[in-house]
A and B are shown apart, each in its own frame.
Chain A
Amino acid sequence: MTRFLAITRTEMLILRRNRWLLMATLIMVLFALALTFAGSAPTGTLGVDMLTVSVASMTTLSVYLAPLLALMIAFDAIAGDVDRGSLSLLLSYPAGRGEILLGKFAAHLAALAFAMTIGFGTAGAVAAWFGGAGPESLMALARLILTSILLGAVFLALGYLLSALARGATAAAGLSAGLWLVFVVLYDLGLLGAVVMDEGGTFTQSVFPWVMVANPADAFRLWNIAATEGVAMASGMTGAAQALPVWAAPASLLIWPILGFALARAAFRRVEP
């Protein structure tokens, strides 16, 4: 336990020292604030409070930003140590590989959680102050923050996986960019293409929602949208959410971090520094 904590503490120190924590928090605050003010126009037409609209906008933002920020920390976690030649030294100490990976994961996740909470929290507070908030929209904000942290956890784990598989930190960074593109952009484009080709056939009716929810980024979107009627209205994405049982999106988003971490752990076991 002390070893796990020692790794976590050191990783936190690194994130603070190289200003990653500051930059990530700043990015989150700025984007969330910008979206809250830019997206406040439809409040009147939809008849929901400003915080609800703000959460809908920030959900879309988080789909892109949470994976990106997570991958930005994770890609260096193993490959960077290999490059520096310090991994062999670290592994010659009594800490196990799982312990090392878990220690890094805890620190990185805490940093992400901090950036998310401050970023979305600030924007939410501003939206509530100017445009009002209700218990339902506050719940939506809390859900957004929690699911964003979960989404970050997924991509932290996947980032470690790539970091263990790649030869060197530069290659890991490249792979991470590719992974981000596939999960966040190309996957949806592919699905969209398939739905258009299918013209409302069986694929669109029964397969499509499941394929969609299998992607953690889409599961994140669906969870946030399905849970709040107002958010669903503001984002205009009710159709896909209604076709799935309520547990589908949360299950996907909860299974992915565990699956990703198990894969990363298995890949790390095979790394020969």
Chain B
Amino acid sequence: MTDKALSITQVSKDRGKTRVLDEITLSLAPGQRVALLGHNGAGKSTLIKSILGLTPIHDGTIRIGVAAPGSAQARRETAYLPEAVSFHPALTGREQLTLFAQLSGSKVDVPCLLDRVGLSDALDRRIGTYSKGMRQRLGLAQVLLGQPKVALLDEPTSGLDPISRQDLYAIIDELAGQGTAVLIASHALTEVEARTDRIAIMRKGRMVADDTLTNLSALAGLPIRLKVRASANPEALAAELGGKRINGASIEMLCTPDDKMEALRRIAGMGDAVADVEMTPPKLEDLYRHYAQEEMQ
């Protein structure tokens, strides 16, 4: 157990009569990056707050290393970025971060850290004048204080422009590189896809999937989409390949990962009749829809 940075075992929590967390089990090894996906109200934020010891759980155990949530040791070893975080508008970025550094007992160089998240120009400006993205960056800077064992990021990309998102993922990689286990609760599916080692999907307080993207795809059996553009006669092409006409010149066909090469060979065998082929493997979005809505149909 102790080789895990974070282990969550059979955790349940009730709020009134509703079960907001239902026998959640999840563990993160040091340096692992795990995306936690789910609709609003699926229980992602509640799970993160349970890990922080901010809200009590009614069953199961959570351990940060060996420490219980909310204990002094656990709080020293976790870093947290709340969803849509805001700070006191009267303080400057430097003052706010200095407070956090003193609270965590870290002897970090504050201006240097703010430079790391691209806030060096706004160092001595009041947080009240910051944009949402800048506040988010400031929140991110405090995650980098000390060397946390576990970092919990709740919707870290909200309010960030695409370039900032690249920076964010660079920082996450840096954290993981120094051995921090990073749990990222997110809606931004496409970015999470390439940037995490594992994906966990929550639905209505339950963990419905927890695996690598490849394994999840295989498990879900989602089809690969092939879009074939005919050079002259799309009807003949559709008849030959058995696909579906989607516009004037193209057809679309679905095939399983096992049949993929076979389909490609057939298309290649048709010579000049085919002008172009586009292949789309199942996206995280399709997977997410598959797992998150499984029982709704």
Contacts and interface: CB of A to CB of B under 8 A. Distances in A.
Interface of A: 2-3, 5-7, 9-10, 13-14, 17-18, 80, 84-86, 88-95, 272-273
Contacts of A91: 52, 54
Nearest to A100: B103
Interface in B72-94: 72, 75-76, 78-88, 90-91
Nearest to B95: A13
A90 B52 CA distance: 11
Given A88-B54, A94-B105, A13 B100 contact: no
29 contacts: A2-B102, A6-B98, A6-B103, A9-B99, A10-B96, A14-B88, A14-B91, A17-B91, A80-B88, A84-B86, A84-B87, A84-B88, A85-B82, A85-B86, A86-B85, A86-B88, A88-B52, A89-B80, A89-B81, A92-B52, A92-B78, A93-B75, A93-B100, A93-B104, A94-B72, A94-B75, A94-B105, A95-B103, A272-B55
Interface residues of B, number: 32
B76 A94 contact: yes
**8 interchain residue pairs of minimum CB distance:** A6-B102, A17-B90, A93-B103, A92-B80, A84-B86, A18-B90, A94-B75, A10-B99
A273 B55 CA distance: 8
A86 B103 CA distance: 14
A88 B91 CA distance: 18
Given A10-B99, A86-B85, 20 more contacts: A3-B102, A3-B103, A6-B102, A6-B103, A10-B95, A17-B91, A18-B90, A84-B87, A84-B88, A86-B82, A89-B85, A89-B142, A90-B103, A91-B54, A92-B52, A93-B100, A94-B103, A95-B103, A273-B49, A273-B54
A7 B139 CA distance: 18
Given A93-B75, A273-B54, A88 B82 contact: yes
